Amino acid sequence: MSEPLILTQVRGEAALKVGVITLHRPKQLNALNDALMDQLGAALLAFDADESIGCMVITGSEKAFAAGADISAMAKWTYMEVYKSDFITRNWETLKRVRKPVIAAVSGFALGGGCELAMMCDIIIAAETAKFGQPEIKLGIIPGAGGTQRLPRAVGKAKAMDLSLTGRMMDAAEAERAGLVSRVVPADKLLDEAFAAADAICSYSLPSLIAAKECVNRAYEAPLNEGLLFERRAFHALFATEDQKEGMEAFLAKRPAAFKHR
């Protein structure tokens, strides 16, 4: 069996379980390689398929969420090797196939592929120590897993250009101001905050969570009218679920909703 490069854990009880994945190459600051991304992808798909799990959290160490793709692995690669092996597409974007919500809990460095990985998650919660950047330019390359596309959508062209062309890092406060992260919390509270958010998410109806995630993602991929139509159809469809009846009846009866499809 290959060396474990991630640690997995299931938190919670009954249908309110959270799948937690910790990137675990501490000596290399969680530098991402094919083996790690294979393990990460397999864990994500397994949690996504597990009916008892409602949400996932990906985290790293205190010092690094992930310091990027593994430079020592890439240093000698030739164009033909990268091209023929379809580096990145073949196993680096499995996260896109995950339907349940995924939270990135980021402490320390989230650079290059590490920043791109965080941006593929649905919510980024950052410790005050977090540092984000796309420093690939310093290595004579550019971001390759969506950095030049997702970063401008998250923070706008000006800051995305700045980060991509200068290779500088931005701290958690700047990342929050720019809209890359949804909250900044003290470092020692990072996992508590991420788990509290995950627990709240798990308590809702899964079909509505999936629909909300699909619709927000659509806002990045489709023109406004297409997105609005997509949202309206998803909204209408949720009236076919038992959980819509339960959610509204529970509100009117002033009791907590007991969703069936969690």
Nearer Cβ to ligand CO8, position 136 or 243? Answer: 136
Give the separation between CA 51 and CA 118, rounded to whole angstroms. 24
DSSP string, 108-153: SEEETHHHHHHHHSSEEEEETT-EEE-GGGGGT----SSHHHHHHH
Q: How many CB atoms lie within 10 A of CB 118?
A: 28
- 174 is known as an active-site residue: no
Cα(183)–Cα(172) distance, integer angstroms: 9
Can 69 be counted among the known catalytic residues?
A: yes
Least CB distance from residue 226 to ligand CO8, whole Å? 28
Window of 3-11, 43-51, 63-71, 222-230 that interacts with ligand CO8 by CB under 6 A: 63-71
CA dihedral 233, 239, 241, 245 (to 10 degrees): 160
| Residue numbers 14-33 binding ligand CO8 by CB under 6 A | 28-29, 31-32
Min dist. Cβ of residue 255 to ligand CO8 (A) = 44
Active site residue 113: yes
**Catalytic: 93?**
no
Burial of 211-232, coded b for 16+ CB within 10 Å and e otherwise, reads bbbebeebeeeeeeeebeebbe
Convert residues 143-182 into a mask of x (bound to ligand CO8 by CB under 6 A) and - (unbound).
Answer: xxx-------------------------------------
Shortest Cβ 213–ligand CO8 spacing (Å): 20
Query: What mask of x and - would describe binding to ligand CO8 in positions 104 to 143, judged by CB under 6 A?
Result: -----x-xxx--xx-----------------xx--x---x
Q: Are 18 and 55 in contact (CB under 8 A)?
A: yes
Q: Which token pair is 245? A: 């009846």
Number of residues located near ligand CO8, criterion CB under 6 A: 24
Catalytic residues: 69, 113, 116, 136
Positions touching ligand CO8 (CB under 6 A) are 28-29, 31-32, 67-72, 88, 92, 109, 111-113, 116-117, 135-136, 139, 143-145
